Chains A and B, each alone.
Chain A
Amino acid sequence: MGEVKKHDTPLMDELKSGPWPSFVDDIYSYAEKHKKQAGFDIMGQMELSYKNKETHWKHGGIVGVFGYGGGVIGRYSDQQEKFPAIWAFHTVRVNQPAAKWYHSSALRKLCDLWDHRGSGIMNLHGSTGDIILLGTVTEQLEYIFYDLTHQLNMDLGGSGSNLRTPECCMGMSRCEWSCIDTQDMIHEFTNQFQDELHRPAFPYKFKIKISGCPNDCVAAIARSDFSIIGTWRDDIRIDQEAVRAYVGGELKPNAGAHSDRDWGPFDIKKEVIDLCPTKCMHWDEGQKKLYINNAECNRCMHCINVMPEALRPGLDTGATILMGAKAPILEGAQLSTVIIPFIKTEPPYDNIKNLIYKVWDYWMENGKNRERLGETIQRIGLNRFIVDVLGLKPLPQHVREPRSNPYIFWKEEEVEGGWTRDVAEFRKRHPA
């Protein structure tokens, strides 16, 4: 093999300085150590983009492994003469373990695989959650897949018009607020829906994300078509002793999140009682006791976040299911909408799986090409989606407020006598 060739990259080199970890330094160190031309060529092409302020990747390109429709994204350079080592630079999406826990023994194997069969450059992680391996050629794809499945016990994630890799917050593995077992649910769903994940059959992408509580650390409500958020129905658990310790200043509010600024002594009235959005809390100064009118609480998590030693979610736990979030393309951004205010989550979660299948059946039949679920719901109307499609009862929890226009689409069967009328009869009463 010939000498590796380093390109002149004055603009990229500017990104080596400064305290935040430099990906440029990392890629150069790697390329030099391993004599990897791809590392130098990618920096060379980036430099050209920095100069021209335009990308130098060609449009798309379908590649993949046998029998799968997704998981690999084709990429080709439009400067193949100048940067031959990255003439093709496909992305492989690898399905991450739930909540992204690893052991170094598994990660090292992945690194070895990627040194051997790819550029050595990756993302931990892509925005959807997958491990992203950046930069390989079509001929390597089957080998990568073989090594992944046989040696690492890992599989590809989703891309294209299919189920995207499901993702969850850290849930019960470390968070005391998790009302549901997010990791178990994600693992169960990911395995149940392998076919939908790997073989595109949908109008467009479909994302499932699960957060253990309304803090929503994986942004399920904002970025998944099917959002599951853990919640509780009974009373917030209170340790009055600990509440007094916050009031007395022995415990730091919000778990110490404001430690580098003097905000003055903790004031339970100002920082908790008055900020409660439903004004359902009361601190009795005489009794030194906190009261919560739990029936009025909308479970926003604020008081629990401020006093984690004193307050905890209740014990009658389950999840709220929301649907339809998406980014602006095409019809404008949408957040997920409440569909089921409360559902119990017991393994193997058949109730939720059945709901997902029901939604898919309808959407596959009725969704237009490249129409996200949220857009389909908009098109047919949330009321029809809830009542006609899912067969659920309409509830005030489904809306922030009822409609303000009376342009109601009545159905014929709802109107006494139906819609067929006799003009002659009408004219008998109302001569023209």
Chain B
Amino acid sequence: MENRITDIGPPHYWQFLPPVIQRNYGKWKSHEIIQPGVIKYKAESGEVVYAVRCGTPRLETTDYVREICEIADKYCDGYVRWTTRNNVEFHVTDEEKLRALLEDLKSRKHPGGSYKYPVGGTGASVTNIVHTQGWIHCHTPAIDASGVVKAIMDEIFDYFGSHKLPAQVRMALACCLNMCGAVHCSDIAVVGIHRKPPLVEDERLEKVCEIPLVIASCPLGAIKPATAEVGGEKKKTVRVNVDRCMFCGNCYTMCPAMPISDGQGDGIAIVVGGKVSNRISPPKFSKVVIPYIPNEPPRWPTTVKWIKKILETYSKHANKYERVGDWIERIGWERFFELTEIPFTWHLIDDYRLAYDTYRTSVHFKFTSHVETVTEIEY
């Protein structure tokens, strides 16, 4: 094409900053959340700006974005910002405009009755769930993403627009173990998992896959080269040692002739207790507490039930400022399972490499209801 230009990079952010932000860039003094979803920032100059935060579904159409533009034009001279957690933020400098904006946002609804721009997601709340693509767009998911998020957020909506929790609760969802959605460091997260080994399409494999790469892709060394007879013809292919497979789907990423998705086998694992912030305690990984829940579209009731149960048990028992993981570490994981009534199964004891890190190597534990007195062992 004529006059093609490349590598110009993103537009410079400065032109998109509202004038009040430009004037006080790097000179902010403090902030206050005046109500859930509304943060008031004060600059050293004495100037003030209110940021109004709204939840969005992340998966959206240009009409939805145009409506955001229309709101931004009406109240904010066209300026608008998104957060890392897919919330949208409007900025105003006076209180009258703020009230009008909040009223306006509340009145905007979809035909089915859902709010288009619910206000919240600040402070000790559940903010928007970071999530991935799922069945709308990806080729490896075990579960949907946007639909599961919608089902969860509908059920715990009250915690988005209020400050009732002991601390903020960050949720995330990833529809497969690739975890584009960064769930390993979230307070509560949902991960899609496969539970059947990949299918091997013998007649297609050598044409579409590089066999050495496929073999190398398996973290468990479960794949070995093989030859198969298809219609009297010898074909180069692979075999999976199914006893070693942990269903990560990595081989499918490398080789389209090894599909892994399965309507019956796939489902959801729940992981909890992770965090990213360095506040008080160091960042930590989330831990698996429910290894499998079946896929239940369109509203995933079992998943939603357990997430709500974990959230509310935490809310009832944790101290002020205590993140989910810090609360669990204080009371002990055995107590966590007792309080949430989540069944503890053998899948929750790690058997992946370096698993020893998670074994208990002290006698510092509590006698929760799980422990039965052993008087006799049957051989």
Contact = CB atoms under 8 A, between A and B. Distances in A.
Identify the interface centre among A120, A124, A299, A330: most chain B CB within 10 Å of its CB: A124
Interface in B215-263: 216-217, 219, 248, 250, 252, 256, 259, 261-263
B199 interface: no
Contacts of A121: 59-61
A370 B10 contact: no
A198 B10 CA distance: 13
A15 B135 CA distance: 14
A1 interface: no
A255 B123 contact: yes
B363 interface: no
A101 B321 contact: no
A99 B160 CA distance: 23
Contact of B9 (A95, A100, A181, A306): A95
Nearest to B29: A176
A97 B10 contact: yes
B179 A55 contact: no
Contacts, number: 407
Interface residues on B, range: 35 or more
Identify the interface centre among A107, A170, A277, A300: most chain B CB within 10 Å of its CB: A107
A54 B168 CA distance: 33
B60 A124 contact: yes
A178 B26 contact: yes
A353 interface: no
A127 B118 contact: no
A381 B168 CA distance: 36
Nearest to B174: A327
A128 B285 CA distance: 19
Given A23-B146, A50-B147, A123-B58, A97 B11 contact: yes
Interface string B32-49: 111110010100000001
B219 A331 contact: yes
A160 to B, nearest CB: 12
Contact of B10 (A25, A187, A308): A187
Identify the interface centre among A24, A129, A198: most chain B CB within 10 Å of its CB: A24
B177 to A, nearest CB: 6
A136 to B, nearest CB: 12
Interface stretch (B291-299, B306-314, B339-347): B291-299
Interface in B78-95: 78-84, 86, 88
Contacts of B151: 15, 18
A235 interface: no
B367 interface: no
B27 to A, nearest CB: 8
A16 B151 CA distance: 10
B279 A259 contact: no
A125 B63 contact: no
Q: What is the predominant secondary structure among interface residues of chain B facing chain A?
A: loop
Interface stretch (B64-72, B96-104, B369-377): B64-72
A52 B61 CA distance: 26
Contacts of A369: 213, 216
B182 A30 contact: no
Nearest to A320: B278
Contact of A22 (B13, B135, B150, B174): B150
Interface in A90-142: 91, 95-108, 110-112, 114-115, 120-125, 127-129, 134, 142
Interface stretch (A215-223, A287-295, A404-412, A415-423): A215-223
Given A21-B56, A46-B144, A53-B263, 13 more contacts: A57-B138, A100-B84, A101-B16, A123-B58, A124-B60, A127-B181, A127-B182, A174-B21, A198-B6, A198-B7, A216-B278, A261-B165, A302-B280
26 contacts: A21-B115, A25-B112, A26-B63, A49-B297, A53-B297, A95-B10, A102-B16, A104-B69, A104-B80, A110-B65, A124-B65, A127-B180, A142-B1, A149-B5, A149-B6, A219-B276, A252-B32, A255-B123, A256-B33, A257-B123, A302-B280, A308-B31, A327-B177, A329-B179, A329-B219, A330-B250
Q: What 5 A-B pairs come out closest when comparing CB atoms? A: A257-B123, A16-B112, A18-B154, A59-B256, A104-B69
Interface of B: 1, 3-13, 15-17, 21, 25-26, 28-36, 39, 41, 49, 51, 55-66, 68-70, 72-73, 78-84, 86, 88, 110-118, 122-124, 130, 132, 134-141, 144, 146-147, 150-151, 153-154, 157, 160, 162-165, 168, 174, 177-182, 184-185, 213, 216-217, 219, 248, 250, 252, 256, 259, 261-264, 266, 276-281, 283, 285, 295, 297-299, 320-321, 352-354
